[in-house]
Structure 1
Amino acid sequence: MNKISTKKMSGTKKWIAASLAGVLWIMPVVGSDGILQIGQGSSSIAEAADSAFSVTKLGEEVITSGAIMMKYKFTAARAGKNVSGLADVIRVDLNNPYVSLDVMTGKGGTLTTRQSTGGMAKETGAVAAVNGDYFNTSAEGAPIGGQVSSGIVMSTPSQLNGMYAFTVTKDRKPVIDEFSFEGMATALDGAQYPLAGINKSAYNPEGGSSTYSHAHALYIYTDAWTALQRPKNSSTTPTEVLVENGIITQISANAALPMAVPKGAYILRAHGLAAQYVIAHMVVGQALETSYSLVSKTTQQSIDPASLQMMIGGHTILVNNGQAATFSRSITSIGGYRARTALGYSQDGRYVYVIAAEKNSNSSGLSLTELQSFMTNIGVWKGLNLDGGGSTTMVDRPLAEMSTRLTFNTEYGTEQRSVVNGLGIYTTAPQGEVKGIKISGSSVLLIGQQAAYSLKGYDTYYNPIDVAAGNPAWSSSGGSVTVKAGQATAVKPGTATLKAVSGAASASTTVTVLGGNDITSLTLGTATGPLTVGSSISVPVTAVTKSGINIPVPNSSLKWEFVGFKGSVQDGKLTVDSINSGVTTGYAIARYDGFSTGVVLSTGAATPWENFENVTYPLAFTTNAAGVTGTAAVTAGSAERAGSKVLSLNYDMTAGSGKMYAYAQLNGTTGKAIPAAATSMSVDVMGDMSLNWLRAELVDNTGATVYVDLAKVIDWNGWKKLNIDLSGYNIKFPASLKRLYVVNVEEGQDERAKTGVVSFDNLSFTMPSLSSDAGLPTASVSMTIGQKSIMVSGTKKAIEVAPIMMNGTTYVPIKYVLDAFGGSASWDAVTKKIMILRGSKVLDLTLGKKDFLLNGMRKSAEVAPLLMQGRTLVPLRLVSEQLGLNVKWEQKTKTVTIES
């Protein structure tokens, strides 16, 4: 074995704690033998950088001495259109002795114990961090690439082509290269056998003689590997050797040792020829030596792991010599526009760039080619790709704060995916003198909201320092916010400046109080509920600003109005105290500075639809993709569903490709009927943490197919109740539910499980008695321009004000429309607002204004309502489009006919 330097494995604590990182793979597929297969493919050539790609720096903030957070906006041309997004870059100065980089690993610094990036940062004291290496999501949880943490080998590089790694040497030099592993076990009699790796999951090696990573191979598993299987799905039967303090203490032929690796020990795992070597040359009680080295594939030189501060595995190289590099490996499975993570360093080796591109409601994500352009734009000389997509997570500690927070929302919101490792940034600076202070607290408030603000300081090394003992004095200017001892109350819309003074130091911050004109929607987490005395439902309210930010609205900022019943809202829960006589539909209206939204409560709410206890119609598994298999059947429930029956959808997509579906089909091609208009549905779902997409397929009475999202991501295990608002799907009832199904989309497919079981129970539909055409009065109303009479289903009635035509727009008196078709209208003389309630619709109009609110959403009409002879006239088009009525116009007679 050609090597320059080696480390002896004599059972010392330092070596035992080591385990060089795993193997990186692309396009993983589990074969029939259960082995992870690595799709090698041909190397892809990086596309030429798009000249339309541009990068703008938005700002920066110091995290700690030697580490700066920089925010960028990028713009790219895609299919003839410009798109934009955001990326966050932490620049680490290796010339600064107080800042360092290291690898964070699972829980407690061990493999096979996945944890979120934020959790690892908190556990290890990192001031910032990003998710790290690729890993097989269906395996134990070990990195694919090599890993060295604090100078100790944690896992070895896998035998895969084109997989790069990032290292920092102990003399603080960054290196990006491909690495291989060489190792040797030497028995007391001098017989030797090559080591294949340390702490590796099963995979398919590339470029060697073996198809299986563990066939005829000798591996080391240290106490950093906590899983009992070493590894699972290896397609081999192991012979294992326990080594403690450099002495063989147990040998188990053709069977794994029934134990985890003891602290300070390691287990040799052998198969085939390696197992024959063990049986022939190893004896309990004898000494065993092992040696290993890392080898640069570029220089062919061996590297002593003790010379490295850290190593983390990555995927393809992205940038070399300041230019986009040819991809070193197929990128087919990691294509598309996704959230991305990457590492790079400057030409002089001084700066390391920790990069995360966002993919969320504020950002479009990047392709790998665009990521190359971004990196070269910000000064990266050499860089590689880390594990991106849904795993992309960055946390950082804001200036003067004590702990890290999520830098941006992930592809799946604020939830952080559990991963095997991450790259942490650490400070070793001593405590310095107070350098500055800042006010910590929300920059946006809602009217009536109370919020706490605190004064926090940072020292000469930009690390947090306690300044609370200074008893700061607080003041507010602008009139929109009052403040006392750090407790602020938002009084009215506008901008206020909060100021805190502590001794000779002072700080100020701007706080904006949002008014109704600053938001585009006010939404309730629960749109419908039961109208029964004593019922209580959760009514969380969220405001969406014009800039697209979601803000939870505290109850102190809301005014509630109840129509048709008496009730109250306390701690975010609506309780029905009594119901007015004859009322079957009630409304709870939440108002915020002229903005409103409502909950529709009905005696017909939450109607049980299917609990799978006595199913009399056929259920079947179907799919759209060749190779996808599964079952759909009523089975006995588990956990809290023990003793009941549930619908279980079992799927296996490992032999499929592309966008794959697994359907549980109800009642053949017909589906099961939903007899009345439903505004929402609920279903209990046992999730499988597959990260797949969960949907339902309905067909309405026009024959149109409607696809309803139950959950964008199945990111939970066990049973969970899902509540789905159907009001925005424009379903024409009665309808039928045809299929419940799981979707595994092609983009990012390597991140999601291809096998799993999802179960369903207790499907209910909320069917308010006045929610749509199914329950509202049926009528035909005719009005003639200028005439003070109306024909209602053939009966003539007098009206106080006639419909009119003005500037080409027809206006009709809303009161008479509602009298005929159901609903009510109320008038607020102070705000000049008309609130219309009809079925599941809450409509707020304002005289003279084109903007209106429908179920909490701001919309705009072509013309505004007007007041005529004490009656409100509304544009005819608004009646037809927003209240769900059909309108006909007879030009010759100037007659309007409205029908339901």
Structure 2
Amino acid sequence: MNEVSMEKRNEEHTQGGRRLPAKRWIAASLAGVLWIMPVIGSEGLPGWGSTTIPVAQAAASSFTVTKLGEEVITSGAMMMKYKFTTQRSGINATGLADVIRVDLSNPYVSLDVMTGKGGNLTTRQSTGGMAAETGAVAAVNGDYFNTGGEGAPIGGQISSGVVVSTPSQLDGMYAFAVTKDRQPVIDEYTFEGLVTAEDGAQFPLSGINKGAYSPEGGSSTYSHANAAYLYTDAWTALARPKNSSTTPTEVLVENDTITQISLDAALPMAVPEGAYILRTHGLAAQFVKAHLAVGQKLSSVYSLKSKTTQQTVDPASLQMMIGGHTILVNNGKAATFSRSTSSIGGYRARTALGYSQDGRYVYVIAVEDNANSAGMSLTELQSFMTNIGVWKGLNLDGGGSTTMVDRPLAETSTKLTFNTEYGTEQRSIVNGLGVYTLAPQGEVKGIKISGSSALLIGQKATFTLKGYDTYYNPIDLASANPAWVSSGGSATVSAGEVTGVKAGTVTLTATSGAASASAKVTVLGGDDLASLTAGTATAPLAAGASVSVPVTATAKSGATLAVPNSALKWEFVGFKGNVQDGKLTVESVNAGVTTGYAIARYDGFSTAVVLSTAAATPWENFDNVTYPIAFTSNVSSVTGTAAIVAGTAERAGSKVLSLSYDMTAGSGKMYAYAQLNGSSGKSIPAAATSMSLDVMGDMSLNWLRAEVVDSAGATAYIDLAKVIDWNGWKSLNIDLSGSGIKFPASLKRVYVVNVEEGQDERAKTGTVAFDNLSFVMPSLSSEAGLPNGSAAMIIGSKAMMVNGTKKSIDVAPIVKNDTTYVPIKYVLDAFGGSAAWDQSTKKIMVLRGAKALDLTVNKKEFILNGKRQSAEVAPLILDGRTLVPLRLVSEQLGLTVKWEQKTKTVTIES
């Protein structure tokens, strides 16, 4: 038998391989050798057992791809962003995909597999973490894995020329590889191996570093029954593997010599460095007992074989290999799926690999599924890949695992390329594909200014100057003394520190030697903002009260910035106070005032903190619960408990509502409810604009919700957290102003949801807890005492009826372009509130209850409680008096307007 020695791994650039001492690759077939078919694991893999292979659906003819831009990552690697547009059931859908194109003809770039932590299996780490640990300049998540297993890939893996794990015996599972002579390959592989005792007896090897799984096309349901597996020091878990439904006999081999044998029991150790453990069962264990002894030599050989060509593949000829799932593209066209895709269907984030027809380019593909992108189906992914030039391609692990990181030009570390399905949370996975630079340090090629592209007036920001060399890798500019210049008067710059002066755009230019760079910085004015938000919307109106009121601006572009205190002008209505270092303090309250306003203005844009004698109303702290609490679910096999329990740690001495759940026996969309007070729930007595509560998270990545039934009998579902992505206690604040709930209402239950799609990515067991539920109910505080009743005005008449009493007004309401305009003063006189006019800005600020409304003459946009909104009409000036659109103002202030056409009468009610 022709044996080929394994090459020593490249120490300078190893991503997780372990050298297997004295092993040999089989370079010839094992025909004629007694073969015991390996059998596969007890846990099984949901959705992996089907042998039906569906045909890929024809891609929609409406699918279009547009390239948005590209940027060099390093010499030989380019980041390209694409937008796709398609139709789904007659509805347009758009999304984004990110592609790293690697040029294998460039000697300064390489691909390799990243593995867990420290290059080890059974450890798991995020894509970004593995990239940082291994020095990758870009990376994407890799192979599928059993989330309930130890943390090993399902497919084969070769890192830096060293086998880390072998392919599983599953049908239609493709792998991507790059040969030592830098040729890309996509194929299906099987594994063949033998161990040879000192007496010449042999036994087949079934694999290397494999978890338990259910095989396909074999005679057994258990991968490790009657089989021998080899485990290297890359496998760090003590169980080899867990849940295998077999009892092992294990052999420790060091320097090709057997040093320990454990009969019918696992060795109580991890694999020592440089050694391996032969794990056997059944017929394989009989082989050990009959032919192996401590002190004897033991050798092994193994090989890969292409399923498509039946040719033996020498793994020493491969630089790397990573496993995947179905083939997607072949010969530049959508391929028939090589295995069932039922468990990975839907519109999700996707990860894929492919290469060009000439083998020069490798395409590392990630499809986004987030607020900016609608994900893709597998057939859409096929269309996308053929659109961008993929000749042959396969599917990698997608959904919640889809993660891409890249190193921006001139930066020294990678960043998340786009938000995952879980936001900025990166799922811990078993392996990933990294892009590496092999280039030496070059000369300075260019410089790049880094810093915020938007500033606020009065805000200071530090801009840094970073350089890149002729290979597009970062280069240190510490010894340089760059010169900085700012064009225009909207911002000043000194040694990289930029200060916003007034609204406008400036160009920052930095020069270092012969290289220079420019960046545009916009100083945002009030007209550039979409909203202005104080850290708290309500506060107690009492002398000495103090609350934190950091103010955040959201630009129309979506950028959010903390507003510096120096850029804000504060005005206090109904009380005397001050704001120092972002903290509002009430000094004294004006006589008879029950509602006050702290108004923050930034360049004419306002927001308000409403102060009242009762702000957020405590609703339930679970210390003295007298109503029943019960656990329920929509699935009978979901179990759990809901109970009031003693708090621990920072909650010691108080009580909390604890909800524990176990969904492992369930299926489909599953709920775990903590039900309050039977079917009745607990009353929320008045209109609530927001809700706050403390929640102890369990990092389950499940969905957290509350269910409310309102006075009309309608059920409202409130999202408390789309993803439970934290451990320990966290305070949540939920805006209820747009919920449409008719109060009084009842909170019936709080609950955890595990939706069916992507279910393998979330925990099915866990415990969450709730405490300190509060509601902001303005009618119980800031709106208490506002007058009720009705007022009627006739168009053209300078009289108005208020609760049956006639009153004179000095300006008659008018109708212009089918809109009724009135002087706001008289509406507020009747229903409470105040209005202030600013002659210089032509603005009217209306304050009533919990509402702060900013209107501008001749502008249809208005600001309500710090949020810019649009109307169909604008205030106007007539005969020197300011008139406002009655319906707009009244409805924003919580009043009802009725129109009687025959008498031209407007009736306002509260």
- 1:469 is paired with a residue whose SS is coil
RMSD between aligned residues: 3.0
Aligned match of 1:27: none
Match of 1:373, SS state, is helix
Match of 2:516 in 1: 506
Specify whether residues 554 and 89 from structure 1 end up closer, same or farther in structure 2 by C-alpha distance, changes over 3 A only: farther
Q: Percent identity between the aligned chains?
A: 78
Correspondence for 1:836: 846
Check the 8 A contact 1:685/1:719 in 2, yes or no: yes
2:595 and 2:124 mapped to 1: Cα distance? 49
Corresponding residue for 1:662? Answer: 672
The structure 2 residue matched to 1:63, chosen from 59, 69, 73, is: 73
Instruction: Decide whether aligned partners of structure 1 residues 741 and 556 sit closer, same or farther in structure 2, where only a CA change above 3 A counts.
Output: same
Q: Distance in 2 between matches of 1:636 and 1:217?
A: 51
The partner residue of 1:408 within 402, 406, 418 is 418
- The one of 19, 23, 27 equivalent to 1:14 is 19
Matched, 1:267 2:297: no
Question: What displacement does 1:489 show?
Answer: 1.7
Q: Secondary structure at the match of 1:178?
A: strand
Give yes or no for the alignment of 1:489 onto 2:499: yes
Find 2:855's aligned residue among 845, 866, 869: 845
Alpha-carbon distance in 2 for matches of 1:358, 1:163: 24
Aligned to 2:49: 40
Instruction: Structure 1: state its 5+ residue gaps.
Output: 21-30
Native 8 Å contact 1:338 1:388 kept in 2: yes
Q: C-alpha separation between the residues in 1 aligned to 2:290 and 2:423?
A: 56
Report the Cα offset of residue 765 of structure 1: 2.2
Residue number among 356, 359, 379 corresponding to 2:369 in the alignment:
359
Among residues 723, 743, 751, which one is paired with 1:733 in the alignment?
Answer: 743
Query: Bigger shift: 604-613 or 337-346?
Result: 604-613
Aligned-partner SS, 2:55: coil
* Structure-2 change in CA distance of 1:639 and 1:107 (3 Å): farther
Q: Give yes or no for the alignment of 1:99 onto 2:104.
A: no
Deviation per residue, 1:739-786 (Å, 9 max, x gap): 111222233233222333322223222334566877744332233333
Aligned to 1:385: 395
Q: Provide the rounded CA distance (Å) in 2 between the counterparts of 1:525 and 1:182.
A: 64
Q: Distance in 2 between matches of 1:67 and 1:727?
A: 48
Aligned partner of 2:141 among 126, 131, 137: 131
The one-letter amino acid of 2:317's match is S
The 2-side partners of 1:473 and 1:165 are apart by: 51
| Distance change (3 Å), C-alpha of 1:642 and 1:78 | same
The equivalent of 1:25 in structure 2 is: none
2:889 counterpart of 1:879: yes
Q: Secondary structure at the match of 1:457?
A: strand
SS in 1 for 2:661: strand
Equivalent position of 2:308 in the other structure: 298
Does residue 594 (structure 1) correspond to residue 604 (structure 2)? The answer is: yes
2-side partners of 1:569 and 1:262: how far apart?
A: 63
User: How does the TM-score come out when normalised to structure 1?
Assistant: 0.92
Q: Matches of residues 30-429 of structure 1 in structure 2 within 5 Å? A: 35-41=44-50, 42-429=52-439
Given that residues 41 and 215 in structure 2 are in contact (C-alpha distance below 8 angstroms), is that contact kept between their aligned partners in structure 1? no
- Do 1:455 and 1:468's aligned partners in 2 also have CA atoms closer than 8 Å? no
TM-fit CA distance, 1:122: 1.5
Residues 535-544 or 303-312, more deviating: 535-544
**8 Å CA contact 2:574, 2:596 repeated in 1:** yes
- State the 1:88 CA deviation: 1.5
SS in 2 for 1:242: strand
Read off the aligned partner of 2:222 and give its amino acid letter: Y
Structure 1's 571 and 312: CA in aligned 2 closer, same or farther, altered over 3 A? Answer: farther
Q: For the structure 1 residues 561 and 32, does the alpha-carbon distance in structure 2 shift closer, same or farther, using more than 3 Å as the test?
A: farther
AA aligned to 2:20 is W
- The answer to whether the 8 Å contact 2:41/2:211 transfers is no
> Letter of the aligned partner of 1:619 in structure 2?
I
Q: How much has 1:66 moved relative to structure 2?
A: 0.8
User: Residue 619 of structure 1 aligns with which residue?
Assistant: 629
| Paired residues of 1:40 and 1:329 also in contact (CA < 8 A) | no
Match of residue 684 from structure 1: 694
TM (normalized to structure 2)?
Answer: 0.91
3-state SS in 1 of match to 2:760: helix
Structure 1 residue 148, shift from structure 2 partner: 1.4
How far apart, in 2, do the equivalents of 1:215 and 1:590 lie?
Answer: 72
Structure 2 distance, partners of 1:377, 1:351, is: 15
Distance 1:896 1:458, change over 3 A: same
**Which letter maps to 1:820?**
A
Whole-Å separation in 2 of the counterparts to 1:217 and 1:559:
76
Task: Map 1:518-533 onto structure 2 (within 5 A).
Answer: 518-524=528-534, 526-531=536-541
Residues 7 and 293, structure 1, Cα contact 8 Å, conserved in 2:
no
1:607 aligns with 2:612: no
For each residue in 1:184-205, what CA deviation from the matched residue of structure 2 results, as whole angstroms up to 9, or x when unmatched?
Answer: 3334444433333222333222
Residue identity in the other structure for 1:40: G
Q: How many Å separate the matches in 2 of 1:576 and 1:739? A: 37
Contact in 2 for aligned 1:445/1:490 (Cα 8 Å):
yes
Name the residue aligned to 1:438: 448
Q: Which moved more, 1:800-809 or 1:395-404?
A: 800-809
Q: How many Å apart are 1:100 and its aligned residue?
A: 0.6
**Residues of 1 paired with 2:597 and 2:622: CA distance?**
32
Quote the offset at 1:569 in angstroms. Answer: 4.9
SS in 2 for 1:261: coil
Is 2:20–2:276's contact at 8 Å kept on the other side of the alignment? no
Q: 1:836 to 1:287 in 2, by over 3 A?
A: farther
Q: Tell me, what secondary structure is at the counterpart of 1:14?
A: coil
Q: Tell me, what secondary structure is at the counterpart of 1:371? A: helix
- For residues 113 and 375 of structure 2, the distance between their equivalents in structure 1, rounded to whole angstroms, comes to 25
Residues 429 and 811 of structure 1, relative CA distance in 2, 3 Å threshold: same
Rounded Cα–Cα distance in structure 1 between residues aligned with 2:312 and 2:155: 17
In the other structure, the counterpart of 2:832 is 822
Cα deviation, residue 548, structure 1: 4.0
Compute the displacement of 1:323 (Å).
Answer: 0.7
Give the 5 Å matches for 1:703-782.
703-769=713-779, 776-782=786-792
**Cα pair 1:602 1:769 within 8 Å, conserved:** no
Task: Give 1:346 shift.
Answer: 0.6
Question: 2-side partners of 1:482 and 1:534: how far apart?
Answer: 39
Mark the CA change 1:304 to 1:324 in structure 2 (over 3 Å): closer, same or farther.
same
Cα pair distance change 1:335/1:553, threshold 3 Å: farther
Give the Cα–Cα distance (whole angstroms) in 2 for the partners of residues 805 and 862 of structure 1.
15
Measured after TM superposition, the shift of residue 320 of structure 1 is 0.7
**Separation in 2 of the partners of 1:43 and 1:570?**
68
Distance 1:248 1:576 in 2: 80
Q: Kindly tell me the number of residue pairs found equivalent between the two proteins.
A: 887
C-alpha contact (below 8 Å) 1:217/1:271 kept by paired residues = yes
Instruction: Using the TM superposition, name which of 690-699 and 502-511 deviates more.
Output: 502-511
1:351 deviates by 0.7
Q: Is the 8 A contact 1:17 1:222 kept in 2?
A: no
Please say if residues 630 and 674 of structure 2, whose CA atoms lie closer than 8 Å, have aligned partners that are also in contact: yes
- Quote how far apart the aligned CAs of 1:865 are: 1.6
1:671 deviates by 0.7
Contact 2:41 2:222 in 1 (8 A): no
CA distance in 2 between counterparts of 1:637 and 1:234 reads 39
Task: Verify the 8 A CA contact 1:677 1:774 in the aligned structure 2.
Answer: no
Deviations 1:226-259 (A, max 9, x none): 3333333334444433333333333344443333
